[in-house]
Amino acid sequence: MKGIICEEIESFLMSEMLPEPVLTTGHAIVGIRRIGICGTDYHAYKGNQPFFQYPRILGHELSGVIESIAANEEGFAVGDQVSVIPYMHCGDCVACRRGKTNCCTDMKVLGVHIDGGMRERISVPLSHLIKTNGLTLDEAAMVEPLAIGAHAVRRAEISATDTVLVIGSGPIGLGVMAFAKYAGARVIAMDINEERLAFCRSWAKVDQTLNALDSDARERLSAMTNGDFPVAVFDATGNPASMMKAFDFVAHGGKLIYVGLFKGDIAFSDPEFHKRELTLMGSRNATISDFYHVLDVIGEYRFDINQYITHRCSFDGMIDVFEDWLKPESKVIKAIVEL
């Protein structure tokens, strides 16, 4: 079986000798058809991903077709198209017992803690498969990254009367914007790239945009909100300077939600934090209910996945183009690999 292994920092190897997955009780063998490339994959390749060890088969934004499965009560069958929920939780810890499987104490994420789907076939527990027969393979692969944005918005308890700010217009930030808009909120997008901000307006339908490099960005944000500032600020950059600066943009009594992750520590002013009685939240991964919410919204044709996916290549060609996707001049929003 063919697969791509991240052997060490900045080194991929195409292997044709990977072992075939073995069908076991409660699992299905899924033939992988699409692999979305995420910031996690870029960070792992460059050596900046927390919780990571080499060598590793990357790939957690996955869609495919069931190739082998035993009789089951879940209703899956050979030939079903599926999305993969890549967060392998234990089911027993304090988080899992409370339904927060997304932050299990013993979390094993495909492509991060354990080998992922950058190979021809993979064995997946039936509990981590969702039928997507009504979607395209591209749409099915994008359910996972969009579910992360959906989860962050649900966690922040956004309402239709809220004004929110989303910092960072990568794929995850765009998902946050789109689901905040779907919730009825007024959404302001912030980034340092004007082309990306234009994409926020055209794809996520944000209400206003703001360049973070403008010296008067805070004053302009104040004017946009009549001096109130946004009641929820999502930072999806994974950039420590942006994450710390984000405290300046939150309304009194508001929430700051860190969706992006970086390998280090965050510092902030405790007097300002207490004066405004801010709520600081982390948002990690997504739950199965977030995945189904994404399916419902995609089913309403709310999102143009063809516009969201800007770059694609064949499985055999991925190693050759991966470095180019890391370059700003490539203008990648979301890249996808086809098998």
Q: What is the pLDDT of residues 154-176, one digit of tens each?
A: 999 999 999 999 999 999 999 99
Coil vs helix vs strand at 5: strand
Residue 196 has a pLDDT of: 96
Mean pLDDT of 83-93: 97
Mean pLDDT of 214-230: 96
Which residue carries 């393979």 as its tokens? 137
Mean pLDDT of 3-24: 96
pLDDT band per the 50, 70, 90 thresholds, residue 264:
confident
| Whole-number Å distance between alpha carbons of 339 and 138 | 11
Residue 154 has a pLDDT of: 97
Residue 52 has a pLDDT of: 82
Residue 261 has a pLDDT of: 86
* pLDDT-above-90 percentage for the chain: 94
* pLDDT-above-70 percentage for the chain: 100
Give the DSSP H or E segment for 233: strand 232-235
Residue 57 has a pLDDT of: 97
Instruction: For the chain, list the strands marked E by DSSP.
Output: 3-8, 11-15, 27-37, 61-69, 81-84, 87-88, 108-109, 121-125, 129-131, 163-167, 186-191, 208-211, 232-235, 255-258, 279-282, 311-314, 335-338
Whether 50 shows a pLDDT value over 80: the answer reads: no
Mean pLDDT of 35-58: 89
Whether 214 shows a pLDDT value over 90: the answer reads: yes
**Cβ neighbourhood burial of 20 (10 Å; 0-12, 13-18, 19+):** exposed
Take residue 168 and report the two structure tokens written for it. Answer: 């960072």
CA distances from 208 to 40, 186, 204 (A): 28, 9, 11
Structural domains of the chain sorted by starting position, each given as residue range(s) with its CATH number in brackets: 3-142+309-338 (3.90.180.10), 154-282 (3.40.50.720)
| Whole-number Å distance between alpha carbons of 112 and 54 | 10
Residue 49 has a pLDDT of: 75
Mean pLDDT of 280-289: 96
Mean pLDDT of 271-286: 96
Whether 268 shows a pLDDT value over 80: the answer reads: yes
Q: What is the pLDDT of residues 106-130, one digit of tens each?
A: 999 999 999 999 999 999 999 999 9
- Mean pLDDT, rounded, of the chain: 95
Q: What is the pLDDT of residues 70-85, one digit of tens each?
A: 999 999 999 999 999 9
Mean pLDDT of 46-68: 91
| Whole-number Å distance between alpha carbons of 47 and 6 | 11
Residue 47 has a pLDDT of: 86
Q: Which amino acid is at 111?
A: G
Lowest mean pLDDT among 31-35, 207-211, 242-246, 301-305: 301-305
Whether 51 shows a pLDDT value over 80: the answer reads: no
